[in-house]
Chains A and B, each alone.
Chain A
Amino acid sequence: MKFSLTRQAITLAVLALLPAAGEAIYFQDKISWRSPIPPSESVNVDQARAWGQNAIWVDARPDEEFAQDHVPGALSLNEDRWNELLPQFLAAWSPGKKVVVYCSSLSCNASREVARRLRKEAQLPDVFVLEGGWEAWLKQK
C-alpha cells in the first residue's frame, strides 16, 4: 500500500468527480439547479412576460389571496374550487397558448399541483410553473 488512507480516500473522491461532472452536463436540460421543477415545466418572470398575449396566467392561490391582488388578467384556478373554476379557464384557453401557473413563492406547492392536473386531466400542452411565484412577479414590478 503505497498511499496513506487519507490519500487513497481523497484520490477516490476526486476520481468520482469526473463522471459526476459529465453527468451533470448531460442532464443539464432535465434538472434545474435552482428548483425541483424540471426546466421544461417552469419559466421565469421575464420569459413568461416575453410571451405577451400568447400566455394565459393562472393564479393557483386560495380565493382570498387572489381577491387581494393578482397578476393583471390572471384567472383564478385553485384546488378548492377546481370544478367550478376550470370551465372559465378552459373558455379562455385555445391551442397555442402558453399557460403560466403561479402561487405565492418559490416554495409553495399549489402551482405545481394545478399545473400537474392541467397536464394530466385536461391534457393541455405548454403548461408552465412560474419560478418564484407571486413574490418574483412583485419584484419585477
Chain B
Amino acid sequence: MKTHIVAFALSIIISLSARAELKWEQTTIELHPAPADKQAVGHFKYQNSGKTPVHFKSVHASCGCTTAQTQKDEVPPGDKGEITATFNIGDRTGTQIKTVTVETDEAANQKTVLTLKTVIPQQLEINPTFLFWKQGDKPDQKTITVKVGKEFTVKHIKVTSSSPDFQTKVEEKGNGEFQIDVQPQETKNLIASTLTIQPDDSQKVFYATARITNAPTVQ
C-alpha cells in the first residue's frame, strides 16, 4: 500500500513540475452580469514566457452554451494573447460554473482548465413556477411565493394571467417577499394560463404556469 501511495504522490509531483511555458494571468474568472445581459465574457490572458512557440492543440468548453475563441493558434515566445470565453446565459439561474479545457503542445497531455464562474443576478425567486389542479379537484386557491434577491429592491410586482379562467391576487408580505394567490374558475376543463410577473418597471419578466391537468394515469 505504501508503494502505491508513493507512486501516486510521485505522479502528482511530476505533473506539477511539467514545464508550463504559457503563463496565465488568471485561470478562474468570476463574472457578475447585469440582469438584462444575455452573455457573460471572460478574458483569459496568457503570455508565452518560454523560448519556444506554443501551439493550441484544442480548446473545448464543457457545454454548448460556452464558446471559446483563441485569437491565434500559435503563440511565439514572449507574445501575449487571450482566450475569450463567451457564456450564453439563456434562461439559466444561479451561479453557473463552466470550464474551457485548453490543450497545448507544451508537454505531453498539458491541459489547463479555465473556469468561468458566472453569478447570475436573481432579481426574483419564484417558488413554485408551476401550479396545477387535477381535473375534477376542488378549485382551491394555491400560492406562489416570490422573494426579491438580496441585491435588489422591488416595491411592487405586477402579475397578469394569460387566461381569464385563472384569478390572481398579489399580497405584499414585506421584507422583500410577495405572495401570489392563484385560483381557477373551475377544474372541469384542461385550461392553462401563463402568469407573467413583472417587478416594478423592470425590463426583465418572469413566468409561472398554472393549469388543470389530467387525473393520474392508471398503472
Contacts and interface: CB of A to CB of B under 8 A. Distances in A.
Whether A and B touch directly in their complex, counting CB atoms under 8 A apart, is answered as yes
B88 A80 contact: yes
- Size band of the B side of the interface? 20 to 34
B37 to A, nearest CB: 15
Given A86-B209, A91-B192, A124 B217 contact: no
A18 to B, nearest CB: 16
B213 A94 contact: yes
B194 interface: yes
B2 A80 contact: no
Interface stretch (A6-14, A28-36, A38-46, A132-140): A6-14
A82 B91 contact: yes
- Size band of the A side of the interface? 20 to 34
Given A79-B91, A80-B88, A95 B209 contact: no
A93 B90 CA distance: 23
Given A87-B194, A94-B213, A124 B130 contact: yes
Contacts of B62: 109
A54 interface: yes
B63 A109 contact: yes
A117 B209 CA distance: 14
A9 B129 contact: no
Nearest to A13: B1
A93 B213 contact: yes
A124 to B, nearest CB: 7
7 A-B pairs with the lowest CB-CB distances in the bound complex, closest first: A96-B216, A82-B91, A80-B90, A122-B130, A94-B214, A94-B213, A123-B128
Interface of A: 6, 9-10, 13, 53-54, 61-62, 65, 78-84, 86-87, 90-91, 93-97, 108-110, 117, 121-124
Given A83-B207, A123-B128, 20 more contacts: A9-B2, A13-B1, A54-B219, A61-B64, A78-B90, A81-B90, A82-B90, A86-B129, A87-B192, A90-B192, A94-B213, A94-B215, A94-B216, A95-B215, A95-B216, A108-B63, A110-B63, A121-B126, A121-B128, A122-B209
